[in-house]
Amino acid sequence: MSRNAASPKIKVWDTELTRRLGLRLPVVQGPLGGGLSSVELVGAVADAGGLGSFGVHHLTPQALLETASKVRARTAAPFALNLWMPCAYRQQRHIDAESFAQALALLAPFYEELGLALPEAPPAAWPDEREQMEALLEARPAVFSFVFGIPPADVLRRCRQLDILTLGAATTVAEARALEEAGVDMLVASGAEAGGHRVAFLEPPERGLIGLFSLLPQVVDAVRIPVLAAGGIADGRGMAAALLLGAQGVQLGTAFLACEESAASAVQRASLFQPQANDTVLTRVFSGRLARGIRNQFVERLQAVKDRLPGYPLLNSLTAELKRAAVAQQRPELMSLWSGQSAGLLRHRTAAALLTALEEQAQTLLGGL
């Protein structure tokens, strides 16, 4: 029996998100940037009736196009590509010799511990966002999701012409209004529980650390475009609650990161299932911008000097080799262990098992109302 036939058609699955994209379930696998997305994860989510997303903010335009082709070779279903918009918050692309030396001095003990030579020059340039957007338009995914701001008006207009659905992210009511006014199609209300970066763009993220239970209904009241919910959702109870609070779908990141199809290393994935995952911290020490991950030694040792570290994307590039070496040497205490606040709820090891559990549990709860 097909899964469509097995699932009674309950009205909550019929949302603006599922209708617009022809999905079976109102569930988005949140984009995982910096190399943690995978074609297999996007494909597995699509097979199970959700929307898979690939985080491509770290890729060159050429690599972005290649990624889109690989996803298309895996699935005919709609998928999202995700970019980070240029954002002034702790942005730093260039560094003078003195500040570079200061940053290296702070990071030197970690390079040494991991047996790495210190870089002699600042990292190469980070991909240009405008060029990435041009490549994305060429790749023409069903959904362009973005964070840290709003794409330029001409990009939004071309998305409409190409039938690419635009999906922004808001951490406050003001950001939700700004996205709607710019003509963005849908938005994700991102609660402070979420794993990874705080994607605020109107105010520094420290000013908008609003939990999803407070943020979601206020955003739903403030805008007319469909709102998806993200931050701390890891099971069917969270999904049902978000739909009751007015969301047209849910976006989960940490729970998909924990699935074996993600590109997370085995050590990183295992860390999400350990008790330490209950202790997350918002920190700038890995990338230069505020992000939520599991507290570990790297964070503890650098937190006190965080204001002397460079901004994004410079610090992100400077720590990249450290992070890679920590993974290769299986040293979780020196890795960036991104996680949201609901890691303690994680039970499922594959995307299909996670989506089945979400569907069944949410259906039981909502069907009984």
Ligand X SMILES: Cc1cc2nc3c(=O)[nH]c(=O)nc-3n(C[C@H](O)[C@H](O)[C@H](O)COP(=O)(O)O)c2cc1C
**C-beta of 230 vs 314, nearer to ligand X:** 230
- Closest CA relative to residue 87, chosen from 281, 228, 288, 252: 288
Q: Is 214 helix (H, G, I), strand (E, B) or coil?
A: helix
**C-beta of 90 vs 95, nearer to ligand X:** 90
**Residues 6 or more apart in contact with residue 239 via CB below 8 angstroms:** 27, 233, 250, 358, 361, 362
**C-beta of 103 vs 149, nearer to ligand X:** 149
**Residues 6 or more apart in contact with residue 264 via CB below 8 angstroms:** 36, 257, 258
Q: Shortest Cβ distance from residue 126 to ligand X (Å)?
A: 14
Name the residue with the smallest CB distance to ligand X: 253
Cα 150 versus chain centre, distance: 16
Q: Shortest Cβ distance from residue 159 to ligand X (Å)?
A: 16
Binding residues vs ligand X (CB under 6 A): 30-33, 36, 55, 57, 82, 145, 147, 169, 190, 193-196, 230-233, 251-255, 257, 338, 340, 342
The length of the chain, given as a count of residues = 369
**C-beta of 57 vs 323, nearer to ligand X:** 57
**C-beta of 95 vs 127, nearer to ligand X:** 127
**C-beta of 230 vs 240, nearer to ligand X:** 230
Q: Shortest Cβ distance from residue 20 to ligand X (Å)?
A: 19
- Closest CA relative to residue 341, chosen from 267, 254, 258: 254
Q: Shortest Cβ distance from residue 254 to ligand X (Å)?
A: 3
Q: Shortest Cβ distance from residue 322 to ligand X (Å)?
A: 17
Q: Shortest Cβ distance from residue 316 to ligand X (Å)?
A: 11
- DSSP letters of 132-180? HHHHHHHH--SEEEEESS---HHHHHHHHHTTPEEEEEESSHHHHHHHH
State the Rg of the chain over Cα.
Answer: 20
- E strand map for the chain: 27-29, 52-55, 79-84, 91-92, 143-147, 165-170, 186-190, 196-197, 227-230, 249-252, 280-283, 291-294, 312-313
Q: Shortest Cβ distance from residue 105 to ligand X (Å)?
A: 28
**C-beta of 220 vs 337, nearer to ligand X:** 337
